[in-house]
Chains A and B, each alone.
Chain A
Amino acid sequence: MGISSKPVVFALISTAVILIGTTVTVFIPLFMPSTQPVSAYIKPYTAVEQEGRDIYMREGCNNCHTQTVRPLRTEVLRYGEYSKPEEFAYDRPFLWGSRRTGPDLNRVGGKYPDSWHYTHFRSPQAMFQKSNMPPYAWLAKNRLDTSNSFKKTSVLGYGYSEREVQQQIDQYRSTVTNDSYPSKESRDKSTPSELRKELTEMDALVAYIQKLGRDVKNMEAGK
């Protein structure tokens, strides 16, 4: 065969062959709005939720938890309404995952109170003796770094002004540090006393977890 003595031609033909399937199944869908539709009921993450999402990524939670409920009977029974494409319009990157060493989290928001998550993150084994989830008590010992929060939300195109980002942070801080916060007891138990009046990484992670699937649930409730 002629091309087996022409390396550059061979490389060009290989590239062309490789790009056919790539173009049809990846590049063209990128430009089709139907691949990743948007919907008004799905809101972007707040600055604090986004910080929580970044911690979720940093700790590699996606290695054990998926975020997509499949349209299967037992799956909907276990987790709730199956996942819709609109829900992921703000997810950069997507966090659907590939292995469920732990349960799916796409509908976990609002399923338990914040206190449940503080207690569980501190020691999953204290809550479920047989759990193999790593404990994350140290997240409550880290002050949340919000120095890049505005930059992050601008890169992600959430459309918040710098003041709005600061308001979101201040507002969430006052919520979780308020004496009337319903999960105060378990938060205080996890959080060292010097950080109780500040936002910790665990606060942000809890905020993110509670956002998962919340917009869909709100929409269903509003019907």
Chain B
Amino acid sequence: MNEAVVYNYKPVRGFAWSAVFWLVIGLVVGLWIAFELFNPALNITPWLSFGRLRVVHTNGLGLGFALAGVFSASYYMLQRLTRSPLAFPRLAQAHLYLFNTIIALAALSLFAGMNTTKEYAELEWPIDIGVVVVWVMFAVNVFGTLIKRREKQMYISLWYIIAMTVAIAILYIVNNLAIPVTLFKSYSVYAGANDANVEWWYGHNIVGFVFTVPILAMFYYFLPKATGLPIYSHRLSIVSFWALNFAYLWTGAHHLMLTPLPEWIQTVAMAFSIFMIAPSWGSVVNGYYTLQGNWDQMRSNYLVKFFIAGITFYGLQTLQGPLQGLRTINAFFHYTDWVVGHVHMGTMGWVTMIVSASFYYMIPNITNTVIYSIKLANIQFWLMLVGQVIWTSAMWIAGIQQGAMWKATNPDGSLMYNFLDTVASLYPYYQLRFAAGLIFFIGILIFVWNLFMTVRQQPRQAEA
């Protein structure tokens, strides 16, 4: 049964380095805009003004870093789990080049102010078409390889990859439908409340199907691989998978609480958001119980820390999210920095942790080396963890403070604070956030260095 399969790792490597590249760029932009928020002097040119840079940050990390990381890990898992090489290796290579071209054009167009303003879908229509082409190229390899596969059963990670592949196609196309005016300008086909509803159905689920679904695929694959322990419950993973896929799509309108969107859509979103705790925690419990009886690996295996911290923040994220989606709680927290803290717990604490650990497992494996330095990986872990916890805590406190100041009234019923007072009171938190971001960024630089030094080593002798 062990006939030699020659796997195609070129796109895996290419996308891994692309992910790391866009990660560094996206974080530099992130630090820049974090600084602008307490010192507007950094808004030097139109290209560097906050309104344009913020979308470079979100798109650079969401599309550039996360998607490249997902493509890299997907091409790896796809081949290993099917025990088959990629169906179309040259297509995968073209996918890599086109992807990076599109992301570079996307960044330039956002700098230049070509912005449709629909969050996480800001790209103008010609680039949208490029993104769709990139996605189709990926999908062709996913299904081509799955159809040709030699391993009959598809492991849970492949399910998540399939779900992501179809969901993102639907989300991206439906939300970006627009009528072009020129090559650089278009208008959404939807108006007002409908546009808002479509956008947040997209906005919430693009986060779900880029930052959750494929990251869970990595978690379910690389945790057992890194620990040598099988996943605790296959049945639990099946139930979680279908419940998550079903419920996620109903929840987008919790981003639109108390807006002019029809109330029933908001209420349905609220109910399904609470329901989402179940499938999310299904995966959390599955992760924890996988280590049952082997918790010593938390100490002896440096990768386990990344996975367990990551799934813990995923667990916290999926409790916080549904709770802040409740109408009364939302009335207080929405539009404040609380939500900014929430998002970054997911991206810094969950996505980046799991992608780091997956790369640390995958890269030495495909280059036939061992990790350059476990010590550096441990330092990276702590810098990322401490940076993220300070970052998000600062934003939560800032959010509570601003929410409270917006609501504060004098005994005569008048407002206690004007708007600017509430903004200026946040500057200390913004400075702390910048410092925390810097700590996290240093952790990421160590990660890049460690990966770079790993692949520079002489490959070990191929095993007989």
In angstroms, how far is the closest chain B Cβ from the Cβ of A45?
12
CA distance A92 to B174 in the complex (A): 15
Interface members, chain B 193-213 (any A CB < 8 Å) = 193-199, 201
Which residues 3-34 of A have a CB within 8 angstroms of B?
4-5, 7-8, 10-11, 14-15, 17-22, 24-26, 29-30, 34
A21 pairs with B407, CB closer than 8 A:
no
CB nearest to B425 among chain A residues: A130
Tell me the bound Cα distance from A95 to B199 in angstroms. 11
Nearest CB in chain B: distance from A121 CB, A: 12
Question: Are B143 and A7 closer than 8 Å at their CB atoms?
Answer: yes
Which residues of chain A have C-beta atoms less than 8 A from B424's C-beta? Answer: 130
How far does the alpha carbon of A148 sit from the alpha carbon of B39 in the complex, in Å? 36
Q: Which of A8, A60, A66, A131 contacts B40 (CB 8 A)?
A: A131
Contact of B187 with A26 in the complex, beta carbons under 8 Å: no
Closest-CB distance, B338 to chain A (whole angstroms)? 10
Q: How far is the CB of A23 from chain B (nearest CB, A)?
A: 9
Kindly list chain B residues whose C-beta atoms are within 8 Å of the C-beta of A34.
Answer: 262
Cross-chain contact B181 with A151 (CB below 8 angstroms)? yes
Interface check B435, CB cutoff 8 A: no
Q: Are A64 and B331 neighbours in the complex by a CB distance under 8 Å?
A: no
Q: A60-B52, A88-B192, A156-B187 are in contact. Are A78 and B249 (CB under 8 A)?
A: no
Binds A, one of B116-124, B130-138, B318-326, B352-360: B116-124
Give the complex CA separation of A30 and B152 in angstroms: 42
Would you call A14 and B162 a contact (CB within 8 A)? yes
Residue of A nearest to B253 (CB): A25
Shortest CB distance A4–B (Å): 5
CA–CA, A92 and B113, complex, Å? 17
Evaluate contact between A60 and B117: CB separation under 8 angstroms.
Answer: yes
Which of A51-59, A169-177, A185-193, A203-211 is the interface stretch? A51-59
Asked whether, in the complex, the Cβ of A29 is within 8 Å of the Cβ of B265, the reply is yes
Q: Is A132 in contact with B40, judged by CB distance below 8 angstroms? A: yes
A93 CB, min distance to chain B CBs, angstroms: 4
Secondary structure dominating the interface of B: helix
* A60, B55: Cβ atoms closer than 8 Å: yes
Is A11's CB under 8 angstroms from B166's CB? yes
> Given contacts A1-B238, A93-B116, is CB(A134)–CB(B336) below 8 Å?
no
Report B162-187 residues with CB < 8 Å from chain A CB: 162-163, 165-167, 170, 174, 179, 181-182, 185, 187
Contacts of B114 in A (CB 8 A): 58
Chain B residues positioned under 8 Å from A90 (CB to CB): 191-192
Min CB distance B392 to A, Å, is 15
Q: In this complex, which of B147, B194, B249, B339 has the most chain A Cβ atoms within 10 angstroms of its Cβ?
A: B194
CA distance A151 to B52 in the complex (A): 25
Distance A91 CA – B87 CA, assembled complex (angstroms): 45
Interface residues on A, range: 35 or more
Complex Cα gap A17–B167 (Å): 10
Residues of A55-86 contacting chain B, CB below 8 A: 57-64, 66, 68, 70-72, 74-75, 77-78, 83-85
Q: Is the CB–CB distance between B51 and A64 below 8 Å?
A: yes
From B179, B193, B408, B409, contact of A155 by CB (8 A): B179
Contact A70 B414 (CB under 8 A): no
Centre residue among B40, B149, B260 by max chain A CB count within 10 A: B260
| Interface residue count on the B side (C-beta < 8 Å) | 93
Of A18, A74, A128, which contacts B420 at CB under 8 A?
Answer: A128
Asked whether B268 is an interface residue with its Cβ less than 8 Å from the other chain, the reply is: yes
B252 partner residues in chain A, CB cutoff 8 A: 25-26
**Docked complex: A104-157 residues within 8 A CB-CB of B:** 124-125, 128, 130-136, 138, 148, 151-152, 155-156
Question: Is the CB–CB distance between A148 and B153 below 8 Å?
Answer: no
Complex: how many Å from CA A132 to CA B119? Answer: 22
Q: Which of B140-160 contact A (CB under 8 A)?
A: 143, 146-147, 149, 152-154, 158-159
Interfacial chain A residues near B166, Cβ < 8 Å: 11, 14-15, 18
Known: A99-B339, A101-B423. Is A93-B117 also a contact (CB below 8 A)? yes
Chain B residues with Cβ below 8 Å from A26 are 174, 197-198, 201, 252
How far is A72 from B258 in the complex, measured between Cα atoms in Å? 9
CB distance from B266 to the nearest CB of A (A): 10
Determine the chain B residues whose CB is within 8 A of the CB of A36 once the complex forms: 191-194
Cα(A70)–Cα(B332), bound, Å: 11
* Residue from the list A29, A74, A93, A131 in contact with B415, Cβ < 8 A: A74
CA of A93 to CA of B163, assembled, Å: 28
- Chain A residues near B165 (CB-CB < 8 A): 11
Question: What are 23 sample pairs from A and B whose C-beta atoms fall under 8 A apart?
Answer: A8-B147, A10-B154, A10-B159, A11-B166, A14-B167, A15-B170, A17-B245, A18-B246, A25-B265, A29-B265, A30-B197, A35-B194, A36-B193, A36-B194, A57-B117, A61-B51, A62-B117, A88-B196, A88-B260, A92-B188, A128-B420, A132-B427, A148-B185
Supply 5 further A-B pairs (C-beta < 8 A) apart from A60-B51, A132-B37: A21-B250, A83-B260, A88-B192, A91-B195, A134-B50
Nearest first, the 3 closest Cβ-Cβ pairs linking A and B are A60-B51, A88-B192, A21-B249
